[in-house]
Amino acid sequence: MSIGQEVTNTPKPAPAKPVRRLADVIFAGTARSSGILILLVLVGVAAFLIIEAMPAFTADSKDIAGGKGFFSYIWPLVFGTAVSSIIAIVLATPVAIGIALFISHYAPRKLAGPIGFVIDLLAAVPSVVFGMWGLQVLAPQMGPVYKWLENNLGWIPIFAQGSTTGRTIVTASIVLAVMILPIITSVSREVFLQTPTLHEEAALALGATRWEMIRTAVLPFGRPGIIGGIMLGLGRALGETMAVAIILSPGAFTWALINSGNSTIPADIALNFPEASGLKLNTLIAAGLVLFVITLIVNMIARYIVDRRREFSGAN
């Protein structure tokens, strides 16, 4: 009681005013505006692409390359981009999950670090190197494989007319698979390592073999991470330029994936841009805009999945 009275009796001191220093305001403002600048850059990328792409959308359809308008110009490229990325994902995912499990649950502890470093290094090798390697080393090896596929499975449209040079969209996809391997591996490895040790030990204590422990404890826990990694890999494969531009011998749309022909949006831009001018330039920028929108959607889904995962992982 007496304490309460004491408080009411003494005059209330004014709440301490936070000291505002000019340097603080400037520093906070700079930090904040850099953050906003990044958002503006992203908006700017979209805006400048739209401005420069506009003429291609509004132009007379006869003036667009191919003479049938922008839509019929872009759809074979979208098809090629999607097909090559999907093949790459299908090839890379099982291998990447295998490597991630190898690093997180099979390799000796001392080896796990260096192996992770080597895999990260694979991610840092410039794409032009993979392209040159794909054309000079891989493509000649694939020629006989395509001939064999044509002779034995040629009645399936996809395996008709095997290319002898190996400069096909499938070869490009294999190289893409190698290139996206590190990203899927590193995302999956991160979540596998986060698996609660108690879950793993519980499985082992119930008499599980190592694989049963992985199947019942690690994989269910890591599934969102794997899916996120796959989506990120997909985003990278969709936008990969040089490997496809170098390896593929591009051409019109064809179902025969082991033959030359087909093309992807980024490869088409890289191959035609240096000589392009006028409306052709606008068309290529419009193609880039389409690619930008596709990868933006894929990446936003991927980030959404990965981030949702992050909220759970705090609870272990």
- Asked if 242 interacts with another protein (CB under 8 A), we say yes
Choice from 13, 277, 311, 315 touching another protein (CB under 8 A): 277
Tell me the residue length of the chain.
Answer: 316
- Asked if 274 interacts with another protein (CB under 8 A), we say yes
Least gap, CB of 107 to another protein (angstroms): 8
What's the CA gap between 161 and 154, in Å, rounded? 7
Of residues 218 and 256, the one with the C-beta less far from another protein? 218
Least gap, CB of 205 to another protein (angstroms): 11
Of residues 144 and 157, the one with the C-beta less far from another protein? 144
Of residues 3 and 23, the one with the C-beta less far from another protein? 23
What's the CA gap between 226 and 309, in Å, rounded? 10
Least gap, CB of 41 to another protein (angstroms): 6
Q: How many residues bind another protein (CB under 8 A)?
A: 98
Least gap, CB of 216 to another protein (angstroms): 5
Site for another protein in 249-268 (CB under 8 A): 266
Burial (0-12, 13-18, 19+ Cβ within 10 Å), 138:
middle
In this structure, what token pair is assigned to residue 268? Answer: 């088409």
Least gap, CB of 202 to another protein (angstroms): 8
- Asked if 281 interacts with another protein (CB under 8 A), we say yes
3-state secondary structure the chain: CHHHHHHHHCCCCCCCCCCCCHHHHHHHHHHHHHHHHHHHHHHHHHHHHHHHHHHHHHCCHHHCCCCCCHHHHHHHHHHHHHHHHHHHHHHHHHHHHHHHHHHHHHCCHHHHHHHHHHHHHHHHCCHHHHHHHHHHHHHHHHHHHHHHHHHHHCCCHHHCCCCCCCCCHHHHHHHHHHHHHHHHHHHHHHHHHHCCHHHHHHHHHCCCCHHHHHHHHHHHHHHHHHHHHHHHHHHHHHHCCHHHHHHCCCCCCCCCCCCCCCCCHHHHHHHHHHHCCCHHHHHHHHHHHHHHHHHHHHHHHHHHHHHHHHHHHCCC
Choice from 65, 112, 132, 227 touching another protein (CB under 8 A): 132
- Asked if 41 interacts with another protein (CB under 8 A), we say yes
Choice from 89, 178, 230, 257 touching another protein (CB under 8 A): 178
- Asked if 153 interacts with another protein (CB under 8 A), we say no
Choice from 229, 269, 283, 309 touching another protein (CB under 8 A): 269
| Per-residue binding letters, 11-40, with another protein (x by CB under 8 A) | --------x-x-xx-xxx-xxx-xxxxxx-
| Per-residue binding letters, 191-230, with another protein (x by CB under 8 A) | ------------x--xxxxxxx-xxx--------------
Find, among 308, 280, 311, the residue nearest to 52 by Cα. 280
- Asked if 292 interacts with another protein (CB under 8 A), we say yes
Site for another protein in 91-130 (CB under 8 A): 94-99, 101-102, 106-107, 115, 117-122, 124-130
Of residues 191 and 256, the one with the C-beta less far from another protein? 191
Least gap, CB of 141 to another protein (angstroms): 8
- Asked if 78 interacts with another protein (CB under 8 A), we say no
What residue type is 228 in one-letter code? G
